[in-house]
Amino acid sequence: MSVNESLSRNCYHPADTNHIVLQASLSEQQRVLLEKICPAGLFSRDAAGRVNVHFQGCLECGCCRLVAGDTTLKAWRYPPTGAGITLRFG
């Protein structure tokens, strides 16, 4: 089973608000790190080079929080109760 097939089995309940907030100014190294670290590939750049996080698909794994830290992420919290991911295995 491919990673995409495995991820597609999960059930997502997106919240209205972003539970991951980036610092206002990021270095090129921080941007590249975010793009590489997320297993779901949720960080991408827009035409102006700004990094966006597509939080609706978050796996709540915490990799970005652990690796990038507070100097890159202004806030990381779990989505509100009733929102977020329901993992399905097999």
**Residues in contact with ligand SF4 by the rule CB under 6 A:** 20, 37-40, 42, 53, 58-64
Closer Cβ to ligand SF4, 51 or 59, answer by number: 59
Closer Cβ to ligand SF4, 27 or 63, answer by number: 63
Question: In whole angstroms, how close is the CB of 28 to ligand SF4 at the nearest point?
Answer: 19
Write the CB contacts of 6 (distance below 8 Å, at least 6 apart in sequence).
none
Closer Cβ to ligand SF4, 24 or 41, answer by number: 41
Give the bridge partners for 76, in sequence order: 20
Q: List, in sequence order, the alpha helices (H) in 1-90.
A: 3-8, 28-37, 63-68
